[in-house]
Amino acid sequence: MVVEKPGEDFPLQLNTGRLLWHWHTRTKTARAPELHDKAPKACVEIHEDDAKTLSIENGETVNVVSSRGFIKIPAKVGTEMKKGEVFVTFHYGGWEENQAANQLIMDIMDAVSNQPVLKHSLCRIEKLAVE
């Protein structure tokens, strides 16, 4: 299996996963107001120290970039993530909206189960220029 190591171009570990309130791409859960209200849009969770280093404010839209592409989503700054790690859920966005987290991750298969890894990658967070 290919193992990526953090470096100058991609210093952060990106993990993707699920939220408690949504199922897959939210085709049903997005229509349930109680569930939608808990997590209405995509975001990248980033530790406050990493955000400070990058001059990123909570709620500011950023690019999350891997060697496979990028997505454009708001930052959620806090202490839930470890420094050096970020999290994006895969529930949101399509290819057209440029918020599909799965376009950032490794597309390799597990040697034993033959299942796609579809979980992690290296990335960087880019602050968008103020227009």
Is the per-residue pLDDT at 126 higher than 90? yes
Is 98 contained in some domain? yes
Phi, psi of 120 (to 5 degrees): -145, 165
pTM of the complete model: 0.78
Is 4 contained in some domain? no
Indicate the SS3 state at residue 130.
coil
Is 121 contained in some domain? yes
Structural domain that includes position 115: 12-127
Is the per-residue pLDDT at 115 higher than 70? yes
Closest to 71 in 3D by CA, of 123, 131, 28? 123
d(CA 61, CA 64): 10
Is 62 contained in some domain? yes
Instruction: Provide the pLDDT for residue 62.
Output: 95
Is the per-residue pLDDT at 21 higher than 60? no
Let me know how many helices (H) and strands (E) the chain has, helices first: 2, 6
Largest separation between any pair of C-alpha atoms in the chain: 49
Write out pLDDT tens, residues 25-68: 655 555 566 665 566 577 899 999 999 999 999 999 999 999 98
Mean pLDDT of the chain: 80
Is 1 contained in some domain? no
Count structural domains, the chain: 1
- The domain spanning residue 71 has which CATH number? 2.40.40.20
Is 91 contained in some domain? yes
Asked whether 85 and 120 are in contact (CB, 8 A), the reply is no
Is 85 contained in some domain? yes
